[in-house]
């Protein structure tokens, strides 16, 4: 999910930066005093998650967990993921500082989309809708991120004509794994802190 430096064209870099700046502004606005620790915590979870590699066939995939970050934070996913990506770029040399805008947009936009699509179901009482919605959040966040990553590369002139399907297939195990882990995390959190999923500033 981390696009390296020197791959993308200038206009794609600029576009990503603009989207991320807008998301960042909206996200920062949505953070109140009580929500702060949660944002920092999920930022830390994202920062560490990319280091976890799960072997899949001959290759391996790493966790992103932007779906989990999204359903718990909404627009605040932008600042949380940006901080994680900045630290990954500086400390771990994942991605890079010039691609920060694009990489942030590629993981944070799907997170916000998953928030609007699936977070309402997580407020329900029944087990099944929560299970399905949280799995879907993990699954689709990666699908969207893979799509946006391909789009960034395509707009920069990389030939993806026969790679699009391959990229999708390559991310399939990743989507399922993220779905399962997101579902497990949501079910656990709902048990110990059900108020996390309630609406409005009451959530702590």
Site string for other proteins, 58-77 (x = CB under 8 A): --x-x---------------
Shortest CB 117 distance to other proteins, Å: 24
The verdict on 29 binding other proteins (CB under 8 A) reads no
20 lies in the binding site for other proteins (CB under 8 A) = no
In the complex, what is the shortest distance from the CB of residue 58 to other proteins, in angstroms, rounded to a whole number? 9
Contact 173, 61 (CB under 8 A): yes
**For other proteins, which stretch binds (CB under 8 A), given 13-21, 37-45, 123-131, 134-142?**
37-45
Q: What is the token pair recorded at 102?
A: 């694009």
Cβ distance to other proteins smaller for residue 180 or 189: 189
Among 11, 14, 25, 93, binds other proteins (CB under 8 A): 93
CA–CA distance, 197 with 204 (Å, rounded to integer): 9
Q: How far is the CB of 170 from other proteins (least distance, A)?
A: 8
Reduced to 3 states, what is the DSSP secondary structure of residue 43? helix
Site map for other proteins, 145-174, x if CB under 8 A? ----xx-xx---------x---x--x----
- Start-to-end CA distance of the chain, whole Å, equals 30
Instruction: Report helix, strand or coil for 150.
Output: helix
Distance CA 43, CA 55 (A): 24
Is residue 64 within 8 Å of residue 107, measured between CB atoms?
A: yes
Among 78, 94, 121, 197, which residue interacts with other proteins (rule: CB under 8 A)?
A: 94
Question: Which residues, including other chains, have CB under 8 Å from residue 63's CB and lie 6 or more apart?
Answer: 49, 50, 52, 54, 177, 178, 181
Closest by Cα among 100, 120, 95 to 20? 100
Binding site for other proteins (CB under 8 A): 2-8, 31-33, 36-37, 39-41, 43-45, 47-53, 60, 62, 83-84, 87-88, 91-94, 149-150, 152-153, 163, 167, 170, 188-189, 192-193, 196
């Amino acid at each position: 999910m981390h696009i390296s430096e020197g791959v993308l064209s200038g206009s794609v870099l600029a576009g990503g930066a603009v989207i991320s700046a807008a998301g960042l502004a909206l996200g920062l606005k949505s953070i109140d005093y009580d929500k702060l620790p949660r944002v920092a915590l999920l930022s830390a979870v994202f920062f560490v998650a990319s280091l976890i590699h799960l072997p899949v066939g001959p290759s391996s995939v790493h966790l992103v967990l932007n779906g989990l970050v999204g359903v718990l934070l909404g627009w605040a996913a932008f600042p949380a993921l940006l901080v994680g990506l900045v630290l990954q770029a500086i400390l771990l040399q994942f991605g890079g500082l010039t691609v920060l805008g694009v990489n942030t947009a590629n993981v944070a936009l799907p997170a916000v989309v998953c928030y609007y699509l699936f977070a309402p179901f997580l407020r329900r009482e029944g087990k099944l809708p929560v299970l399905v919605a949280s799995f879907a959040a993990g699954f689709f966040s990666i699908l969207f991120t893979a799509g946006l990553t391909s789009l960034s590369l395509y707009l920069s002139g990389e030939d993806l004509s026969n790679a699009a399907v391959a990229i999708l297939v390559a991310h399939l195990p990743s989507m399922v794994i993220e779905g399962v882990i997101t579902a497990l995390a949501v079910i656990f959190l709902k048990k110990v802190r059900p108020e996390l999923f309630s609406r409005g500033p009451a959530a702590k």
